[in-house]
């Protein structure tokens, strides 16, 4: 891995490279995505099935677009029992963590008859998009579905592309069943997002669409945002390891590679104040890469988006980590908790040498759907918050309104909104 001195310039150049991976840089696909969306919005199932034939090569109709109970049972049988056991354990941890995120309605009364409050309601219907293709990510199914489940969402609908024969990956179906998905449909790409946003004869309209996908899925989600809600738009995966000289270079190297293997656009960055550690990690990275099955992907990812930055001191290293705002941040320092308190921007923060990043991907409980590409400055991990919404509650008595009603009238009149003033005055007319 290349080793550079951390300066404002090297950090900014790196961030510019990373930002090029953003879905915002793919406007050339927008027209096609809008076309797909408009077709599905207008012609519903007819368009959905036509695009499925065109893009996935599968012939679907209203009779077989929904995954049947039999298909689910078969998938469950086909899935390795050991994997099912692991998924069950992971599911318990994920549920337990997300239970702690629950928010409750509150109401606050005053003696003069004023009651103000905030009502929390789970979303009625949520759509979870699950990518298809060769690799299946059952962990992603658990992470997207379980927060909705904990929030109390009324109906959870999943869509995932099928292969040419109409089959869906068995582990995906098994995970969906364990997580408690209500309905599963064979649909992928922008056409699936459009079907969830507007509804078709076969697929119900939902209130929010979550889940990762390729650039078409990301652009389609952005296009339907406002008509429905969406989670944040996922970019390629990232890890940033903050380490001082006390870090184990083999652990740091292995963890960097765990993200670099995701895809060629993934990013792995080490920032340290120790030149010796930088050299050691670089050497360990080479040794591991040579024997890892996804060597080709790793090499491309490291070449374009991987980097070791050597900082003057740990404070400068921490400041750079805050600027980069990585999806995953590992802290391998002598006092990880102390370092963590200085972190303002990161999706998930892993403390100490046994909190390896894949522990969070699969098992510990916090969500692995995290803000990428610097968006940890303003976005949060997927959580129960994403599946609830709030309503303000206002109740007033005459006793409470009377002493202030002229203030409100004054305010309304200053904004030239006389009908607003009238609706207050009418309560106190003779």
Q: Give the footprint of a copy of itself on residues 92-151 (CB under 8 A).
A: 97, 100-101, 106, 108, 114-116, 118-119, 121, 123-124, 135-139
Residue 216 CB, nearest distance to a copy of itself (Å)?
15
Nearer to a copy of itself, 23 or 49 (CB): 23
Name residues contacting a copy of itself, limited to 178-217 (CB under 8 A). Answer: 207-208
- CB–CB of 153/122 below 8 Å? yes
Taking the least distance from each CB to a copy of itself, the nearer of 68 and 109 is: 109
Q: How far is the CB of 381 from a copy of itself (least distance, A)?
A: 5
Candidates 298, 302, 311, 318; binder of a copy of itself (CB under 8 A) is: 298
DSSP 235: -
Which letter, b or e, does each residue of 112-126 get, where b requires 16 or more Cβ atoms within 10 Å of its Cβ?
eeeeeeeeeebbebb
Q: Give the nearer residue to a copy of itself in terms of CB position, either 63 or 226.
A: 226
- 305 lines the binding site for a copy of itself (CB under 8 A): no
Binding of a copy of itself by 220 (CB under 8 A): no
When binding is defined by CB under 8 A, the residue of 255, 274, 310, 333 that contacts a copy of itself is 255
One residue of 90, 190, 278, 317 binding a copy of itself per CB under 8 A: 90
Q: What residues pair up with 328 in beta bridges, in sequence order?
A: 239, 348
List binders of a copy of itself among 256-295 (CB under 8 A): 257-258, 260-262, 288, 292-294
Q: How far is the CB of 100 from a copy of itself (least distance, A)?
A: 7
Q: What is the rounded CA–CA span in Å between residue 389 and residue 197? A: 18
Q: Which of residues 317-376 bind a copy of itself (CB under 8 A)?
A: 336-337, 340, 343-367, 370-371, 375-376
Q: What angle do CA 180, 366, 146 make, to 5 degrees?
A: 10
Minimum CB distance to a copy of itself, residue 389 (Å): 5
Q: Which residues are catalytic?
A: 327-328
Q: Which is nearer to a copy of itself, 2 or 344 (CB)?
A: 344
Hey, how many other C-beta atoms are within 10 angstroms of the C-beta on 106?
A: 11
In angstroms, the CA 326 to CA 375 distance is 8
CB of 46 to a copy of itself, least distance (A): 21
* Residue appearing with tokens 């400068």: 316
Name the helix (H) or strand (E) containing 304: helix 295-305
The rounded distance, in Å, linking the Cα atoms of 217 and 32 is 12
Show Cβ contacts of residue 338 under 8 Å, excluding neighbours closer than 6 positions: none
Query: By CB under 8 A, which span of 51-59, 143-151, 302-310, 402-410 interacts with a copy of itself?
Result: 402-410
How many angstroms separate the CA atoms of 147 and 103, rounded?
12
Could you tell me the two tokens for 199?
């509804």
In angstroms, the Cα distances linking 386 to 126, 151, 221, 320 are 10, 9, 15, 29
Contacts with a copy of itself by CB under 8 A: the residue count is 126
């Amino acid at each position: 891995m290349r080793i550079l001195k951390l300066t404002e310039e090297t950090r900014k150049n790196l961030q510019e490279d990373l930002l090029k991976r953003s879905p915002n840089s793919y406007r050339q696909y927008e027209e096609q995505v809008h076309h797909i969306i408009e077709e599905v919005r207008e012609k519903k199932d007819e368009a959905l099935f036509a695009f499925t034939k065109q893009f996935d090569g599968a012939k679907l109709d209203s009779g077989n677009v929904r995954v049947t109970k039999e298909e689910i049972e078969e998938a469950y049988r086909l899935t390795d029992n050991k994997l099912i056991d692991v998924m069950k354990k992971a599911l318990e941890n994920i549920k337990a963590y997300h239970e702690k995120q629950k928010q409750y309605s509150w109401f606050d009364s005053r003696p003069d008859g004023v009651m103000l409050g905030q009502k929390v309601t789970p979303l009625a219907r949520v759509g979870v998009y699950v990518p298809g293709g060769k690799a299946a990510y059952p962990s992603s199914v658990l992470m997207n579905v379980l927060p909705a489940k904990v929030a109390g969402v009324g109906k959870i609908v999943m869509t995932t592309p099928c292969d040419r024969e109409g089959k869906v990956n068995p582990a995906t179906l098994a995970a969906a069943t364990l997580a408690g998905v209500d309905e599963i449909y064979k649909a992928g790409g922008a056409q699936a997002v459009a079907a969830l946003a507007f509804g078709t004869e076969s697929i119900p309209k939902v209130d929010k669409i979550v889940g990762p996908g390729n650039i078409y899925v990301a652009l389609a989600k952005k296009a339907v945002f406002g008509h429905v809600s969406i989670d944040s738009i996922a970019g390629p995966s990232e890890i940033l390891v903050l380490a001082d000289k006390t870090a184990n270079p083999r652990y740091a190297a292995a963890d960097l590679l765990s993200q670099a293997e995701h895809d060629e656009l993934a990013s792995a960055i080490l920032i340290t104040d120790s030149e010796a550690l930088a050299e050691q990690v670089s050497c360990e990275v080479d040794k591991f890469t040579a024997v890892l099955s996804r060597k080709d992907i790793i090499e491309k990812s490291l070449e374009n988006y991987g980097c070791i930055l050597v900082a003057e001191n740990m404070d400068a290293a921490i400041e750079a980590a805050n600027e980069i705002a990585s999806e995953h941040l590992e802290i391998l320092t002598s006092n990880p908790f102390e370092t963590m308190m200085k972190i303002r921007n990161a999706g998930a923060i892993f403390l100490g040498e046994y909190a390896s990043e894949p522990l969070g991907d699969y098992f510990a409980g916090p969500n692995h759907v995290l803000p990428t590409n610097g968006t940890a400055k303003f976005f949060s991990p997927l959580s129960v918050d994403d599946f609830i919404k709030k309503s303000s509650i206002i109740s007033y008595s005459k006793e409470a309104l009377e002493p202030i009603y002229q203030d409100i009238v004054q305010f309304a009149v200053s904004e030239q909104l006389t009908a607003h003033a009238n609706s207050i005055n009418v309560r106190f007319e003779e």
